[in-house]
Structure 1
């Protein structure tokens, strides 16, 4: 292939200059272009960024040009594609003000796509392919309809900055934001002299900046997301866009193990994208590995070939449900273990015509005073006091299934809660609710699935801050199984003591098959429980003692009818 390093890509506002690496086939000609635009440094080798992960991917997806979460250029150039890998403004070799995931970032990305479509080595057709950040950015830029963009494959890519990533149910997901910002993004800022010493790539072309200059030239996500709590604040509002504006074909790939990041976004992206040519595929496994496995690379290639090269060997261009089912559901059976390609291979996929499945039975399981779940509500009532801020052990309500039962869709919980007065007469004015669904096999062992980082995770999770509980049922985005909240500062409603409030908790989508004798446990807590990994919600400012400390009371049975809804197939 031909490798052109540090191609200059001008920006219309004149306040920055992007630099990209171009990889293209050696034969003269115009080629479709796979573009990535992101914050991890285009020159940082995958083998340095994450040596363990690099060692596990197939050999045909490895070279000295490989980089984290993006297409491998030697593979794709062999198959008739050019690959353009660009550092976003303020990152790596691209100078300017750094403001990741912002309106500015999406605008710049759109300029890159239009620039690439006009180059002499380009066929004029641009495709987007990448994992995580390189997936989430695809939704936002596709909504801008840049000239030349022909299709996108957002692989484990969130759609909603607020709901999917930084504020789960209104609660700040601080640990991941801090880990991501301080370990993966901030060190790669343009002009940071640490880059070379930390093996994070070469120093920038124009030399190093001082620490103060670096601070002046960036927005810090750890500060912004702690300080900005609501969607009507300019910081968050500027990041909102309409999925319905997306017109290009979409293959949305959702990892069922991503229970704290991306999964919800991939599903909602499929539901709301405006294009009629859209597909949703569910997968499993550690988030960095499936993308490079041969059968998934072939899936990517067939989709890109169809829309970028007019080589349609599967029937994508006929539209969903003609030859290619709109949805590929993963049947997760048994208890094969986690963080193993062999374990993931025991799961099988099947095609479906829609999501959620039309035959879904949304079934209520009422929380009982004896800590069971039943399809019959209890006439007996009971209260369960829970110390706030994760200081109590979680409550676990369980149901045993006497026959094989498939769960596939969007669960939710409706919980009746109140707060007690403190000894000094004051009271908590808010509650953070943490819900986890756990799958127990017939032998009594929990079924752990593979989480984003390879950690053992439960079936799924959901969260809600009580003060932002208001549901907008008039929104076109609202569904009975996916309650829509606007998260506005004007709708904040703090709690009064000894008043019972109904809190409807959205739980992220999931799929599994429970064997006869297996159980589902609905776990209710006031803080993070097992499976949170690096996605914890424990910021002392966001979850402070004055607003939250004290006793939360869960009410079950009788007129305070707390329940779980499971999507049974």
Structure 2
């Protein structure tokens, strides 16, 4: 299809670009941008995928940077903070001598064909075909790399496991490898609020029908990515709760509503087989270099997949990198474009930019608020700090975390299902959370797996247990670190799917509680790299509702409420060495 004349897009590199370093060289710079809109990619069954291609100004052959997801791409390059704007900014890549290829899934936007369930193997077939198509174009060197966030990231290891001949590397941000436990049934319950937001934001009839010309997209980008970008960002953050409420109230197309209904009401176990598996099980087939970024503020979305990928991918150890990034929530997602370009320059062009010298793990350390490095995560020789839970008296009091396992007794909290009306002043007679603290007397670094082991009983047949870790600084300010959750009736550990960072839970196996009888709940919290200083306190909060413990995306934390607990009940933790948390890679007590 002939190239259309159009206005130039305004580029953006808002957000964090590098994980604690600055490249010393770039292969190319200042190469400009032109566009090949509305390219047609023929795939199976006669379907044709729509793609927009962005090229440097000069004629020539360039490596393709392909992004594939389920979304309409009409508003993405305009810089509009839509729910799916996670491809980066194409002019940033063309300026460095790369050719972004932004592909729409079959049946979406300008692509033809019939849609299937999200992440279906048909998607991976089409993704593989798009990689082959890009490699064969006259503007391409025959080399293809992948880039993108969330859906654009999760498809990358899925197709990389197919080993497409043209694929040279991928850079994925915020991924899941097991869609059942990491996306749709996080912590053993349906991710109702997230699915409401995601589907309402991206799959209404308007999203399917909207058409914005390249010139109009470029004109809009002059405002959204220009001097007003900071203001746009502030407005989005200030109104994120209102924006999410509007998405949740929207009506997606019928086919998407059918997927929603099957996931929420029928996919109660893996055996129901209504949710595609994801990359898990095929990670060992991946052999190309990659970088994966995990935002430490994403507590009940996109967690644990990055660690699974790094641990189990077949890629050589010296060709995979893990970045644990500080909490941030932004749309559009423009972060990490600089890091990706430096990585691609290193892999494709052999540029002496310093990437070969970068540690294979870089993680954001709370406290100093800087990147630290490691050879693996968790470190092979990691120590651990085990802190036992103990009572501080009445349930509503602040309780104890201690290295001493001998504390006895128990404490309880009331579990109230989210959204139920209750009497004013309830918390004064029936507290809905327990709080434990460990006073820090010597500098202690935490950077590894976080495990909770709780002796638990309930006066119902099921409930929900949510654990949150925070650092309380010497001024009394709370720094949100980590979160984990488990459904007590679905507590069976799935050793086959567990990793060094995650205790995987088989939530499809459900054993109702016997009221009053103790069970052991063993589950993972998200990693929480932090440096504790004397005068700080490590705080553990236990509750049954996400809305009581989470923070807002407006504060940088992507957390979504869950429809829990299922019953009004009283939950109890029992001590005497049976309830503890363990935090990896810590300096020894008293060191």
TM-score class normalised by the smaller sequence: 0.7 to 0.9
- Picking from 509, 525, 528, the partner of 1:510 is 528
1:430-445 residue pairs with structure 2 within 5 A? Answer: 430-445=462-477
SS at match of 1:172: coil
**1:230 corresponds to 2:269:** yes
CA deviations over 1:80-131 (Å, ceiling 9, x no partner): 1111111111222112333323322222212111221222222111111112
Distance 2:545 2:484 in 1: 11
Task: State the TM-score, normalized to the length of structure 2.
Answer: 0.77
Assess if the C-alpha contact under 8 Å between 2:144 and 2:168 holds in 1. Answer: yes
Change over 3 Å in CA distance of 1:123–1:324 after alignment to 2: same
RMSD: 2.8
Deviation at 1:9, TM superposition (A): 0.7
SS at match of 2:288: coil
Assess if the C-alpha contact under 8 Å between 2:449 and 2:583 holds in 1. Answer: yes
* Structure 2 partner of 1:58: none
Q: How many residues align?
A: 491
SS at match of 1:90: coil
Which sections of structure 2, spanning at least 5 residues, go unmatched?
1-32, 218-251, 393-398, 423-430, 554-558
1:211-226 residue pairs with structure 2 within 5 A? Answer: 215=253, 217-218=255-256, 220-226=258-264
Deviation at 1:376, TM superposition (A): 0.7
- Picking from 144, 155, 158, the partner of 2:162 is 144
Change over 3 Å in CA distance of 1:366–1:437 after alignment to 2: same
- Picking from 90, 96, 105, the partner of 2:113 is 96
**1:170 corresponds to 2:221:** no
Distance 1:313 1:291 in 2: 24
SS at match of 2:45: coil
Assess if the C-alpha contact under 8 Å between 2:74 and 2:211 holds in 1. Answer: no
* Structure 2 partner of 1:186: 204
Assess if the C-alpha contact under 8 Å between 2:505 and 2:523 holds in 1. Answer: no
SS at match of 1:461: strand
SS at match of 1:409: coil
Deviation at 1:195, TM superposition (A): 6.7
**1:386 corresponds to 2:414:** yes
1:64-463 residue pairs with structure 2 within 5 A? Answer: 68-98=85-115, 99-187=117-205, 189-190=207-208, 192=209, 215=253, 217-218=255-256, 220-227=258-265, 228-239=267-278, 241=280, 242-276=282-316, 277-288=319-330, 292=334, 296-314=336-354, 316=356, 323-333=357-367, 347-370=369-392, 371-389=399-417, 392-420=431-459, 428-447=460-479, 458-463=480-485
Distance 2:275 2:487 in 1: 18
* Structure 1 partner of 2:243: none
Which sections of structure 1, spanning at least 5 residues, go unmatched?
54-66, 202-213, 317-322, 335-346, 421-427, 448-457
Deviation at 1:351, TM superposition (A): 2.3
Assess if the C-alpha contact under 8 Å between 2:413 and 2:432 holds in 1. Answer: no
Distance 2:549 2:410 in 1: 26
Deviation at 1:46, TM superposition (A): 4.8
Change over 3 Å in CA distance of 1:516–1:95 after alignment to 2: same
Assess if the C-alpha contact under 8 Å between 1:145 and 1:247 holds in 2. Answer: yes
Change over 3 Å in CA distance of 1:195–1:493 after alignment to 2: farther
Distance 1:503 1:484 in 2: 12
SS at match of 1:459: strand
